Amino acid sequence: MSVLVTGVAGFIGFHVTAALLDRGKTVVGVDNLSDYYDVSLKEMRLARFGDEKGFTFRRLDIADKDAMMALVAEFPDIDQVIHLAAQAGVRYSLVNPHAYIHANVAGQLVVMEACRALKKLRHLIYASSSSVYGDNNKLPFSVEDRVDNPVSLYGATKKSAELLATSYAHLYCLPVTGLRFFTVYGPWGRPDMAAFIFTKKILAGEEIAVFNGGDMKRDFTYIDDIVAGVLACLDKPFNNNGNESSHRVYNLGNHRAEPLMRFIGLIEQALGQKAKVRMEPMQSGDVKETYANIETSRRDFGFEPITSIDEGIPCFIKWYRDYHGV
């Protein structure tokens, strides 16, 4: 038996794959190595696996139906799928909306069609996002809340992916779970995320743009906690006994709404250097606060994040300095 991981060269996909291999799992990883951000970072992540026994890589686009169907035909023993490939980023969705429909909607459809062809499939997990909550003002965000008003195209495509999963679970009894990730950060993180951007600019002596005058909060979640949650959920597909939908969604967050300025302060402290701050108004598609209610995740698969930003930020900064030699 083996696990298919899409987006294997991405931030979360890389860490999840490393953890699966540490468990002794056989992993088939796919990625299209898109140039949305520095491809060399993705290649360096993949290089960490080297010729490791139990790991196979295929470069392909998850929205390419023929390629995905050929993949599952080549590896019919895949019994678990962790679908993490996506076009990420709220702000980039204002610039290139078509990329989001292609990867996050068409790609979701193709992945689920491929899963239908896997006769041994026990569980499909896919990445959703806190962005589906839009500007909901009820906090913390609960999976019981309505998510009908996404304020970004990115959030809309993630909600669309959830709806597709709901329909496929109903029509074909696919055992499928969506995980709504909340602001993930840590070593090997994406260059378009706040921790990376702030660190790079502070070290370069450049101004950092802080939106909404700094009056923002995020449920910053360390990558190790996200990986633990993904693997715990993978091991516990929902058993519906044929009586109800086999689709579930869960929040994976740190269950803490941290002020953005405190986050920046911890980066400054870890770097030993003050930021030059430029206050900006709120950007289109952005929200003031995110905060995850994780009670169902705790109940159903024991999810319990343990890393505060006080611990996580220094770990990220150490990696950043080592990786960039600064």
CA 188 – CA 46 distance, rounded (Å): 11
- Residue 148 has a CB neighbour count (10 Å cut-off) of 9
Determine if residue 61 is left, alpha or beta; phi over 0 gives left, psi from -120 to 50 gives alpha, anything else beta: beta
Which DSSP category does 56 fall into? E
Cα dihedral 55/59/64/69 (nearest 10): -30
Is there a contact between 268 and 202 (Cβ–Cβ < 8 Å)? yes
Buried b / exposed e across 248-266, counting CB within 10 Å, b at 16+?
bbbbbbbbbbbebbebbeb
CA 310 – CA 236 distance, rounded (Å): 31
Give the number of C-alpha atoms closer than 13 A to the C-alpha of residue 261, restricted to the C-beta side: 10
CA 88 – CA 92 distance, rounded (Å): 8
250 is a catalytic site residue: no
CA 88 – CA 74 distance, rounded (Å): 28
Two tokens, residue 76: 């019919």
Catalytic residue among 154, 168, 222, 320: 154
Residue type, 282: M
In sequence order, the β-bridge partners of residue 276 are 207
CA 303 – CA 261 distance, rounded (Å): 27
Give the number of C-alpha atoms closer than 13 A to the C-alpha of residue 1, restricted to the C-beta side: 11
In sequence order, the β-bridge partners of residue 178 are 126, 249
Residue type, 193: M
CA 109 – CA 101 distance, rounded (Å): 11
Would you name the residues annotated as active-site residues?
154
